[in-house]
């Protein structure tokens, strides 16, 4: 029981007649990279949004590190250690790279009604910012407005922000989307560096990345879990093969 950081039970969500999530059940073990895959329209993003708190499920439970979070608002889940990156890159475009990270750092440290001292020079930020920048390899780009970054760098920044709160579970929703091969390599390296220290839920379409990075995989089809297992098991699972490749 205790070696699971996340336990999803019977999670269901419907939009009118469409059941986006049907009694989803899966577990994520501590320290593992767990991938969530499925064909388009399988309900992966709906599932992740229910985990992050963007949308509330109709029924079911989400046990995170022992806490029931199914109906908790997003900022409280964040404080419990659940962090995510959005499917559409969501950073603070008007702020510089280091300001983005600094904001994430101060978000997790009490109130911020501090009006005088330059944020970047406060002890907390001075201590944590260099590591935060180094983790995502953006030290050389610290002073640049985030809007000037390349798409891949923006996604790295997003992950970097999620990491500053030292989350217990990091949810990455299609981190490789829209990236060229160079970006994909960098992102995979980053994920591999993080493995073991934190648990990661990876939602991805890029199968090469999924099979090389994931410890275990859950497959979703039409909002339902149809398979769980290691990459090898999934590769040979007939249900999965037919879902992706059609009959036969």
Partner 1 sequence: MMRSITRASAITVAGGLFFAVLPLVATSFGEEYFISLFSRILIYAIAAVSLDLLIGYGGMISLGHAAYVGLGAYVVGILYQHSYEGQPLFGLLPGSENALVVWPLAVLIAAVFALVIGSLCLRTSGMHFIMITLAFAQMLYYFFVGLEQYGGDDGLSIFSRNQMPVLDLNSDIQFYYLCLFFLVIYLIFVHRLVHSRFGLVIRGANSNNRRIQAIGIHSYRYRLVCFAIAGAGGGLAGALLANQTEFVSPGLLNWTLSGELMVMVLLGGLGSLFGPVLGATIFLLLEEVLAMYTEHWMVYLGPFLVIVVIFAKHGLFGLLAGRGDRNE
Q: Which residues bind partner 1 (CB under 8 A)?
A: 52, 74-76, 78-79, 84, 86, 90-95, 99, 102-104, 106-108, 112-120, 122, 143, 145, 147, 161, 165
Q: How far is CA 96 from CA 54, 92, 146, 224, in A?
A: 26, 8, 5, 41
Which one, 147 or 242, has the nearer CB to partner 1? 147
Tell me how crowded residue 37 is: count the other CB atoms within 10 A of its CB. 25
**Minimum CB–partner distance for residue 119 and partner 1 (Å):** 5
Instruction: Look at residue 56 and give its three-state secondary structure.
Output: coil
Q: Could you tell me if 21 and 57 are in contact, meaning their C-beta atoms sit under 8 angstroms apart?
A: yes
Cα 85 from Cα 87, distance rounded (Å): 7
Gyration radius of the chain over CA positions: 18
Which one, 91 or 209, has the nearer CB to partner 1? 91
Which one, 157 or 220, has the nearer CB to partner 1? 157
**Minimum CB–partner distance for residue 138 and partner 1 (Å):** 17
Cα 67 from Cα 59, distance rounded (Å): 16
Which one, 104 or 209, has the nearer CB to partner 1? 104
Place of tokens 């750092």: 105
Instruction: Look at residue 236 and give its three-state secondary structure.
Output: coil
The percent of the chain in helix, strand and coil, each rounded to the nearest 5, is 40, 25, 35
Which one, 123 or 246, has the nearer CB to partner 1? 123
**Minimum CB–partner distance for residue 48 and partner 1 (Å):** 13
Q: Which of 66, 39, 65, 49 has its CA nearest to residue 13? A: 49
Which one, 89 or 184, has the nearer CB to partner 1? 89
């Amino acid at each position: 029981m205790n070696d699971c950081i996340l336990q999803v039970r019977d999670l269901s969500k419907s939009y009118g007649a469409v059941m986006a999530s049907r009694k989803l059940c899966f577990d994520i073990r501590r320290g593992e990279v767990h991938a969530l895959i499925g064909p388009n329209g399988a309900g992966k993003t709906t599932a992740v949004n229910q985990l992050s708190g963007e949308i509330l499920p109709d029924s079911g439970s989400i046990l995170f590190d022992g806490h029931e979070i199914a109906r908790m608002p997003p900022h409280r889940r964040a404080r419990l250690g659940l962090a995510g990156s959005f499917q559409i890159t969501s950073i603070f475009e008007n702020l510089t790279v280091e300001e983005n990270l600094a904001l994430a750092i101060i978000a997790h440290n009490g109130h911020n009604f501090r009006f005088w001292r330059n944020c970047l020079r406060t002890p907390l930020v001075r201590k944590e910012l260099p590591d935060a920048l180094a983790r995502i390899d953006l030290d050389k780009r610290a002073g640049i407005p985030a809007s000037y970054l390349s798409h891949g760098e923006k996604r790295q920044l997003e992950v970097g922000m999620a990491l500053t709160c030292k989350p217990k579970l990091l949810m990455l929703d299609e981190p490789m989307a829209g990236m060229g091969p160079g970006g994909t390599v960098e992102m995979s390296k980053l994920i591999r560096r993080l493995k073991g220290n934190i648990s990661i839920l990876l939602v991805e379409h890029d199968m090469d990345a999924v099979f090389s990075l994931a410890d275990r995989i859950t497959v979703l089809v039409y909002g339902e879990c149809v398979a769980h297992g290691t990459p090898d098991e999934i590769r040979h699972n007939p249900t999965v093969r037919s879902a992706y490749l059609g009959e036969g």
